[in-house]
Structure 1
Amino acid sequence: MSSSPLPTVAAPPYDDAEKGTLDVQVVKPAHVTLPLQDSADEKKGDLAVTTTVVPVVKKEAPATPPAKKPAKKPISKWILFVLWYNTYRKLFTICFGLNMIAFGFTIAGYWPYAQRYTGALIVGNLQMTCLMRNELFGRALYLFVNTCFAKWSPLWWRLGCTSVLQHLGGIHSGCGIAGFFWLVYRTVIVFKDHAVMHNAILSFGVITSSIILLACVSAFPIVRNTHHNVFERHHRFSGWAGLFSTWIFVILGDLWNTQTQTWNLSGVHLVRQQDFWYVVLMSTFIAIPWICTRKVEVEIELPSPKVAVLRFKRGMQQGLLARISRSAVMEYHAFGIISEGTHAKYHYLICGVQGDFTRGLVNNPLRTIWTRELKFAGVSNTSTLYRRGIRVCTGTGLGAALSTCLQSPYWYLIWIGSDQEKTFGPTISGLIHRHLGPERYCLWDSKQRGGRPDVMKLVKEAYVTWQAEVIFITSNWQGNQEIMAGCKEAGIPAFGTLWDFVMIAHWRTLAFPRRIWMALALDARRHPVNRPFYDVVISCGLVVNKW
Structure 2
Amino acid sequence: MLDDHSFRRFLCDKISRLISCLEQPCKRNVNSSHYLIWDPLLSDPTSQFRPDELLMSTLPRDLENGLNIHRPIPLTVTASRPPRDSTLAPIAKATPPLALSKPQRKISRTLEFRLWFNTYRKFFTLVITLNLIGILLAALDKWQYPRRYTGAFVLGNLQCAIIMRNELFGRLLYLIVNTLFAKWTPLWFRLACTSTLQHLGGIHSSCAVSGALWLVLRIVLIISEYHHYPPSIIAAGVVTGVAVFISIASAFPWVRDAHHNVFEGYHRLVGWFGLASTWVFVILGDSYDITTRTWNSNGVVRQQDFWFVAVMTVFVIIPWLTVRRVPVMVEVPSPKVAVIRFERGMQQGLLARISRGSMLEFHAFGTISKGRQSDEHYLICGVQGDFTQSLVDNPPKFLWTRQLKFAGVSNTSKLYKRGIRVCTGTGLGAALSTCLQSPDWYLIWIGSDQAKTFGETISALIHDNLPPTQYTLWDSKERGGRPDVMKLLKETYISWGAEVVFITSNFGGNKEMMEGCKKEGIPAFGTLWDF
Same fold per TM (> 0.5)?
Answer: yes
Identify the match of residue 252 of structure 1 among 273, 284, 292.
Answer: 284
Say whether the 8 Å CA contact 1:392–1:473 is kept in structure 2.
yes
Match of 2:176 in 1: 144
What is the identity, as a one-letter code, of the residue corresponding to 1:461?
E
Asked if the contact 2:286–2:297 (Cα under 8 Å) also holds between the matched residues in 1, the reply is no
- 1:399 offset after TM fit, Å? 0.2
Q: How does 1:151-162 map to 2 (within 5 A)?
A: 151-162=183-194
Cα distance in 1 for partners of 2:510, 2:430 equals 14
Structure 1 residue aligned with 2:355 = 325
Question: Which residue in the other structure is 1:216 paired with?
Answer: 248
Give, in angstroms, the shift of residue 386 of structure 1.
0.1
Partner residue in 2 for 1:395: 425
Paired residues of 2:102 and 2:484 also in contact (CA < 8 A):
no
Residue 94 of structure 1: how far off its partner (Å): 1.0
2:151 paired with 1:119:
yes
Q: Which of 90, 105, 108 is residue 140 of structure 2 equivalent to?
A: 108
**Counterparts in 2 of 1:74-89, with a 5 A limit?**
74-89=106-121
When residues 165 and 65 of structure 1 are mapped into structure 2, their CA distance, relative to the original with a 3 A threshold, is closer
User: Is the 8 Å Cα contact of residues 121 and 202 (structure 2) preserved in structure 1?
Assistant: yes
Q: Which residue is equivalent to 1:310?
A: 340
User: What is the CA-CA distance between 1:64 and the residue it aligns to?
Assistant: 2.9
Correspondence for 1:362: 392
Counterpart for residue 479 of structure 2: 449
The reply on whether 1:474 has 2:504 as its aligned counterpart is: yes
Contact 1:66–1:451 under 8 Å retained in 2: no
Query: Offset of 1:304 from its aligned partner?
Result: 1.1
Flag the 1:196–1:61 CA change in 2: closer, same or farther, 3 A.
farther
Change (3 A) 1:69 1:126: closer
SS in structure 1 opposite 2:372? Answer: coil
Distance 1:65 1:496, change over 3 A: closer
1:411, CA displacement in angstroms? Answer: 0.2
1:280 aligns with 2:310: yes
Match of 1:174 in 2: 206
Relative distance call for 1:288 and 1:62 in structure 2 (3 A) is farther
State the distance in 1 between where 2:170 and 2:311 align.
Answer: 16
| Residue 424, structure 1, aligned to residue 454, structure 2 | yes
Q: 1:348 aligns with which of 350, 375, 378?
A: 378
For structure 2, the residue ranges without an aligned partner over 5 or more in a row are: 1-90
- Secondary structure, aligned partner of 2:354: strand
1:297 aligns with 2:327: yes
Question: Compared with structure 1, are the counterparts of its residues 463 and 181 closer, same or farther at alpha carbon in structure 2 (3 Å cutoff)?
Answer: same
TM-score by length of 2: 0.81
AA partner of residue 97 (structure 1):
T
**1:63 aligned partner:** 94
Paired residue secondary structure (1:435): coil
State the Cα distance separating 1:424 from its structure 2 match: 0.7
Greater gyration radius: 2
Letter in 2 for 1:196: H
Aligned equivalents of 1:61, 1:234: Cα separation in 2: 57
Corresponding residue SS for 1:245: helix
Match of 1:373 among 386, 395, 403: 403
Percent pairwise identity: 63
Q: Pick the aligned partner of 2:224 from 192, 211, 231.
A: 192
Summarize the Cα distance change of 1:382–1:457 in structure 2 as closer, same or farther, 3 Å threshold.
same
Give secondary structure in 1 for the equivalent of 2:239: helix
Could you report, residue by residue, the CA deviation over 1:78-122 in whole angstroms, capped at 9, with x for unpaired residues? 222111111111101111111111111112222211111101110
Partners of 2:178 and 2:103 lie apart in 1 by 42
- Code of the residue aligned with 1:206 in structure 2: it is V
Give 1:65 shift. Answer: 5.2
Quick check: 2:283–2:306 contact (8 Å CA) kept in 1?
yes
C-alpha separation in 1, matches of 2:277 and 2:198: 31
- In the aligned structure 2, how far is the partner of 1:493 from the partner of 1:115? 45
Q: Which amino acid aligns with 2:427?
A: G
Provide the alpha-carbon RMSD of the alignment: 1.3
Which residue of 2 is the match for residue 49 of structure 1? Answer: none
Aligned AA (1:177): V
Alignment partner for residue 412 of structure 2, among 355, 362, 382? 382
**Cα 1:470/1:63, change in 2 over 3 Å:** same
Q: Secondary structure at the residue paired with 1:351? A: strand
For residues 46-102 of structure 1, what are the alpha-carbon distances to aligned partners after superposition, in whole Å with 9 as ceiling and x for unaligned?
xxxxxxxxxxxxxx9852356785433322222221111111111011111111111
Deviation at residue 491 of structure 1 after TM alignment: 0.2
**1:340–1:407 CA contact under 8 A, matched in 2:** yes
TM-score (ref. length: structure 1): 0.79
Amino acid at match of 2:411: N
What is the CA deviation profile of residues 337-367 of structure 1, one whole-angstrom value per residue up to 9, with x for unaligned ones? 0000000000000001111001000111100
Structure 1 residue 226: Cα displacement: 1.7
- 8 A contact 1:314–1:342 mirrored in 2: yes
CA distance change for structure 1 residues 123 and 413 in 2, over 3 Å: closer, same or farther?
same
Deviates more, 1:416-425 or 1:476-485: 416-425
Where does residue 16 of structure 1 map in the other structure?
none
Distance in 2 between residues matched to 1:428 and 1:66, nearest whole Å? 26
Contact 2:101 2:485 in 1 (8 A): no
Residue type matched to 1:193 in 2? E
Structure 1 residue 372: Cα displacement: 0.4
Q: Which runs of 4+ in 1 moved over 6 A?
A: none
The 8 Å contact of residues 349 and 409 in structure 2, kept in 1 or not, is answered as yes
The one-letter amino acid of 2:484's match is: D
- Please give the per-residue CA displacement for 1:258-316, whole angstroms capped at 9, x wherever unaligned: 112111032xx111100100000000110001111111110001111111100000000
Q: Take 1:61 and 1:91, find their aligned partners in 2: how far apart are those partners?
A: 56
Are 1:295 and 1:368, in contact at CA under 8 Å, matched by a contact in 2?
A: yes
* Distance across 2 between alignment mates of 1:220 and 1:63: 48
